[in-house]
Amino acid sequence: MAQHSSIEWTDHTFNPWWGCTKVSDGCKFCYAEAIANRYGQNVWGPTAERRTFGENHWREPLKWNELSERNGERARVFCASMADVFDERAPVEERERLWELIRQTPHLDWQILTKRPHLIAENLPLDWGDGYENVWLGTSVEDERVVERIVQLGAVPAIVHFLSLEPLIGPLPDLPLEDIEWVIVGGESGPKSRFVSPLWVEDIRQQCQVLNVPFFFKQWGGARKKQAGRELNGRFYNEMPRVAQTIR
């Protein structure tokens, strides 16, 4: 499914900058921070400068856009895996540049995922209106302590509102899904990964089914995530938002 990304629900990954600050328990084993540290980049925390990129990096999505136009097939871009677009310390000029890039790439669907949905509205471009046609906005929710993020996300106009319930570390029995067009669920991966119960996952799937919200099960995770796989009830759940099915 993914072309230039190892993430199952997207085709490409683009990072307008690197760096972030941990905001909740879902960030505890943040893989992005570990990668940045491996590269010797001191870009994590409220006082650290973020790492920015040059022209070649910013040209990549323009090439993907050209390819999509030529093939007549839209591609999805996950933004950002190494940062949070609505980070309080985001380099403001880079975020402006991101909006400009998104306007220049109408054949790409940008999937912007944040743990700071309360900061989305004040950082959107002036011509956002009811939402750019090629931007899906999402928020991550790991357990009930941060469930208010869902309502905050739903309050912002967007063509698709989506949830990434990963790493799922607790039950989410009462999801406010009324304004949500897509739900992704996944267990934590890595050597210190925390427990995920199949009962929590199945309960979320059933809540989605009741409200007819497309459901995507990404992974069980764990120390050996490939072996653990991504089957639930003996099958794969790869549902996508309805808008994706109509524009693809």
Q: What residues make contact with ligand SF4 under the rule CB under 6 A?
A: 20, 22-23, 27, 30, 32-33, 84, 115
**CB-based burial, 138-167: b 16+ in 10 Å, e otherwise:** bbbbbbeebeebbebbbebebbbbbbbbbb
Token pair of 195 as six digits: 């427990």
Q: How many CB atoms lie within 10 A of CB 29?
A: 16
- Cβ(157)–Cβ(177) below 8 Å: no
CB of 24 vs ligand SF4, minimal distance in Å: 7
List beta partners, residue 215: 183
Pick the closer one to ligand SF4 by CB: 37 or 209: 37
Asked if 152 contacts 176 with a C-beta cutoff of 8 angstroms, the reply is no
- Which of residues 12 and 115 has its CB atom nearest to ligand SF4 in the complex? 115
Any idea how long the chain is? 248
The nearest distance, CB 169 to ligand SF4, in angstroms, is 12
CB-nearer residue toward ligand SF4: 6 or 56: 6
- Of 194, 199, 164, 193, give the one whose Cα is nearest residue 180: 164
CB of 62 to ligand SF4, least distance (A): 25
Beta carbons of 22 and 229 less than 8 angstroms apart: no
CB 71, min distance to ligand SF4, A: 31
DSSP, res 227:
H
Cβ-based nearer residue to ligand SF4, 23 or 48: 23
Would you say 115 or 205 has its CB closer to ligand SF4?
115
Considering the complex, what minimum distance in angstroms separates the CB of residue 27 from ligand SF4?
A: 3
> Is the Cβ of residue 185 or residue 213 nearer to ligand SF4 in the bound state?
185
Question: At its nearest, how many Å lie between ligand SF4 and the CB of residue 83?
Answer: 6
Is residue 80 reached through a cis peptide bond, with omega within 30 degrees of 0 on the bond before it? yes
Strands 75-79 and 108-114, by their bridges, are parallel
